[in-house]
Structure 1
C-alpha cells in the first residue's frame, strides 16, 4: 500500500515540481519524473524522518522530483 501511495503522490509531485521550476513538459514525462522522485525522495525521507509520517513522503516526493528535473535539464536537455 505504501508504494501505491507514493506513486499517486508522485504524479502530483511531478506536476508541482515542474511548476516550481517553471517548465512545460508533456504529461508522461511529468508523471514519470514525479513517480521516480516520489519513490526515491519519499523512501529516503521516510527512513530519515519517520516521526513526520506521511508528510515526509510528500516533502520527499516533491524534493526528489525537483532533483530529477534539475538533473534532466543539466544532462539530457542540451
Structure 2
C-alpha cells in the first residue's frame, strides 16, 4: 500500500511539473496518471541505461587494465 501512495505523490508532482513545462492544461487525474506512468517508464529506462553503462564501464576498465599489463610487461618483463 505504501508504494501506491508513494507513486501517487511522486506522480502528482512529476505530472504537475511536466504539464506546466509542456504548457498542457489537464485535470488532476490526468496529471497524476501522466506522472505515474512517466515515473514507471523513466525508472525502467534509467535502470536499463545504468545496467548497460555499468557493463560498458566494466568493459572499458578491462581494456584499460589489459593495456596497463601489456605496458608493464614490455617495460619490466623479461628481455628477448
Q: TM-score, structure 2 length as denominator?
A: 0.49
Structure of higher CA gyration radius: 2
Q: TM-score, structure 1 length as denominator?
A: 0.50
